[in-house]
Amino acid sequence: MSLAGRSLVTMDDLSNDEVEGVFSLADGMADSLGEQSSVCQGKIMASLFFEPSTRTRMSFEAAMLRLGGRVITAVDIGATSLAKGESIADMARVVGSYADIIVIRHPWEGSAKVVADYAGVPVINAGDGGHEHPTQTLLDLYTIKKERKTIKGLKVALWGDLKYGRTVHSLAYALARFGATILFRPAPGLGIPDHVVRKLTAEYGGELRRYGTADQSETGGLFSLDAIYVTPSTPHQLAMMADVSLQVELEKGVDAIYVTRLQRERRDAAKVEGDTRREYPVVDKRLLRERTFKETLVMHPLPRVDELAYELDADPRSMYFKQAARGVPVRMALISLLLGSKKADTGRDDRSRKPGTSHPAYNRGFGVRCQNRNCVSVNEEKYIKPEFKIISLKPLTLRCIYCEHETFPKYVASAEWHEGTLKSKRYHSSDSHWMKKIRPENLIIFDSESEAQSRGFLPGKYAEG
């Protein structure tokens, strides 16, 4: 298996067999860290960390140094030309001419994709806003696989800030692909985003069952659930079970609990305090005394704040420091594969690179914008044209190719009908019957009437739906 010249921006950039190939190579490197110093000799890695980081940055740099390569770094936007107004694309072109591989962390969602599009060298996403953190997911999966020998069929609880925690989003997609059942336990107001849920169910199959306040007592004890995602590989009775059967299933044990902190840096300061902070769920000895967690792995991407008790550090079920340590061999394996310095044998000829469903693209570059204010396409709209995937026609749903947030445009027109004459340049409601009659290649989408009218379109008879 060769990953030479590829980039890792989201978990969808690797197939399941390619993930297994990374793990196989990481196993070999973990057993001989001191013998890898010639693997990437003469290669340079650019380490661009424009958000705070300890483990991710240092493990990447340690990985490159152990491989015999060298590192150049930038850790403060204010000390780079980005502070002067340079675009991320221009920065990518320049840094790509200095280094053989780029690792980037940036607060804007989709920024890693822009760097990968323009750098001309492999790029690794080390976290782009609240979007994804694929290498953290690799070492999380690696830890589960090492400790439980498999991922398929396991029950994994995602705990805490599921709205802004990018590690949770990447991990949820990966767990679904590998056949695990996911239990969602968010802090108040911090549930898994709808666009993440829709991607899980639409592209990885399976079923999501949500629980209301009245249902939570059925799950028992201290562990109240918001939702359960059941993969297609899970026995049918689990997907269809009644609440009492759910309790029986949970009593068999949760295999891993993945704890995340409150992502204060991604929220308005006024919203950080108050009820959310006071009611944030805590994992401690009291919780782990429940039968459900008797043999549960306790995981955390770190850093922790108040959500994970220090009293658990000596507990053999605690995995978070092992996770951090395993970041070095996993990232060594990934770097060497992307640079073409190593190949990995998965035992299978896996030609499919990206899992999930293929969706038609919408890239006219006008008419509709991403509604996520933290998306790179919004913050650098001077040179990045909005691009989307058409996820659904009823209702019309677009997914931004940069940040993966969804938008639901209200108006459509056809490039085939208007023929440049004002009389026939009409726009219509996206939920009208015209939506079915416009061929995808002729579809023009507007997120507002003012946008449609600025392009010279007049309201049609069915502009109001």
Average pLDDT taken over every residue of the chain: 85
User: In this model, does residue 21 exceed pLDDT 50?
Assistant: yes
- Same-domain status, 36 and 123: yes
Full domain range(s) for residue 74: 11-131+325-338
Rounded to 5 degrees, what are φ and ψ at 298? -105, 115
Q: Which residues, at least 6 apart from 45, have a Cβ–Cβ distance to it below 8 Å?
A: 60, 61, 64, 69, 70, 71, 72, 99, 100, 101, 102, 103, 335
Domain count across the chain: 3
189, 149, 186, 152: which is closest to 169 by C-alpha?
186
pLDDT at 383: 85
In a domain, 425, yes or no: yes
- Same-domain status, 148 and 59: no
Instruction: Identify the bridge partners of residue 413 per DSSP, sorted by sequence position.
Output: 444
- Same-domain status, 85 and 163: no
- Residue 297 CB coordination number (10 Å): 23
- The full DSSP string for 275-310 is HHHHT---B-HHHHTSGGGTTPEEE--S--SSSB-G
- Same-domain status, 302 and 331: no
Starting at the earlier edge strand, list the strands of the sheet with 181-186.
207-210, 227-230, 181-186, 155-160, 256-259, 297-299
- Same-domain status, 26 and 90: yes
Q: What is the share, in percent, of the chain residues with pLDDT greater than 70? A: 85
pLDDT at 219: 47
Q: pTM for this one?
A: 0.87
Q: What is the pLDDT of residues 4-19, one digit of tens each?
A: 999 999 999 999 999 9
User: In this model, does residue 422 exceed pLDDT 60?
Assistant: no
Label the pairing between strands 207-210 and 227-230: antiparallel
| DSSP 8-state class, residue 182 | E
Q: Which whole-number Å values give the CA distances from 428 to 193, 365, 413, 435, 460, in the listed order?
A: 29, 19, 6, 8, 5
- Same-domain status, 197 and 244: yes
Greatest alpha-carbon pair distance for the chain in Å reads 75
- Same-domain status, 392 and 419: yes
Answer positive or negative: Cα dihedral of 247, 251, 254, 258: positive
In a domain, 148, yes or no: yes
Please answer whether residues 157 and 259 qualify as being in contact, where contact means their C-beta atoms are separated by less than 8 angstroms. Answer: no
Place 270 in a pLDDT band, splitting at 50, 70 and 90. Answer: very low
DSSP element (H, E) containing 376: helix 376-379
Provide mean pLDDT across the span 438-462. Answer: 89
Spell out a b/e string for 253-279, using b for 16 or more CB atoms within 10 Å of the CB, else e.
ebbbbbbbbbbeebbeeeeeeeebeee
User: In this model, does residue 22 exceed pLDDT 90?
Assistant: yes
- Same-domain status, 163 and 183: yes
d(CA 308, CA 424): 62
- Residue 428 CB coordination number (10 Å): 25
CATH number, domain with residue 380: 2.30.30.20
In a domain, 15, yes or no: yes
Q: What is the share, in percent, of the chain residues with pLDDT greater than 90? A: 52
pLDDT at 433: 86
SS3 446: strand
Q: What is the pLDDT of residues 36-79, one digit of tens each?
A: 999 999 999 999 999 888 889 999 999 999 999 999 999 878 76
- Alpha carbons within 13 angstroms on the beta-carbon side of residue 165 total 28
Q: What is the pLDDT of residues 184-225, one digit of tens each?
A: 988 888 888 888 888 888 888 888 887 754 444 444 455 667
Q: What is the pLDDT of residues 295-340, one digit of tens each?
A: 899 999 888 888 888 998 999 999 999 999 999 999 999 999 999 9
Provide mean pLDDT across the span 109-117. Answer: 97
Q: What is the dihedral of CA 356, 357, 358, 360, to 10 degrees?
A: -130
Question: Which pairs from 234-242 meet CB under 8 Å and 24+ separation?
Answer: 234/153, 234/179, 234/181, 234/206, 238/181, 239/206, 239/207, 239/209
Peptide bond into 303 cis (omega under 30): yes
- Same-domain status, 391 and 448: yes
pLDDT at 268: 54
pLDDT at 353: 44
Label the pairing between strands 227-230 and 426-429: unpaired
Place 269 in a pLDDT band, splitting at 50, 70 and 90. Answer: very low
Q: Which residues, at least 6 apart from 389, have a Cβ–Cβ distance to it below 8 Å?
A: 359, 360, 361, 362, 398, 399, 401
Q: Which residues, at least 6 apart from 198, have a Cβ–Cβ distance to it below 8 Å?
A: 391, 406
- Same-domain status, 102 and 189: no
Provide mean pLDDT across the span 267-288. Answer: 65
SS3 464: coil
- Same-domain status, 269 and 240: yes
